[in-house]
Amino acid sequence: MPVKFIATCLTSAQCQACASLGIEVMQGYTKWIGEIEPGCVTDFSLHCFNSATLAILKGLGVKRATLHPELNLAQIRDIKKCIDTEVIIYGKLPLMKIGNPEIGGNITDRTGTSFFIQGDKLYNSVPVFMADKLKDVEKSGITHGRLIFTTENAEEVRTIIRANMYRKALKIEFTRGKYYSKV
């Protein structure tokens, strides 16, 4: 079954670009256990790594859970999915929290690599990109694929969405994350 695309955006232009292509923009992911309420959708910050966690979340009334990006596709496939699940199929993942949330924009490390900072989060320099590998994601039993937009302008958002809709590769620098890693 094809994954349903869900997006998170930092700007209104990104949200408008998503809406113009019929992509639902999800705001308000539940990020920690104290926020859980019936019908919520959890973020990967709740560290959902296995079937037992999904069963607990189901018991708490969670509608959908985002599996942790450290899981590979084989591990994701082996999880018993008693509720809808999603994984990140595009986007720059937060690497760490930083102590000074007033810093914004980009910082460059000693190698010349640029990292995006928003609020109290430092994001990876390149996005996870799985548009041309969605068949593999779908084989893992996932119901939703999340597109995380941070630094992309509206035209880049539309290009990335179309790549996912048509399962096409793009000529961009990216990572496959942990999806194909051997544990």
Instruction: State the pLDDT at residue 107.
Output: 86
Domain residue ranges of the chain, discontinuous segments joined by +: 4-92+127-165
pLDDT, residue 183, reads: 66
Question: At the topology level of CATH, where does 4-92+127-165 sit?
Answer: TIM Barrel (3.20.20)
Q: Provide the whole-model pTM.
A: 0.93
Residue 83's pLDDT is 98
Instruction: Find out whether 165 and 58 touch, Cβ atoms under 8 Å.
Output: no
Would you give the distance in Å from CA 130 to the centre of its chain? 11
What is the chain's pLDDT, residue by residue, as a tens digit (183 residues)?
899 999 999 999 999 999 999 999 998 899 988 899 999 999 999 999 999 999 999 999 999 999 999 999 999 999 999 999 999 999 999 888 887 666 667 888 899 998 888 888 889 999 999 999 999 999 999 999 999 999 999 999 999 999 999 999 999 999 999 999 986
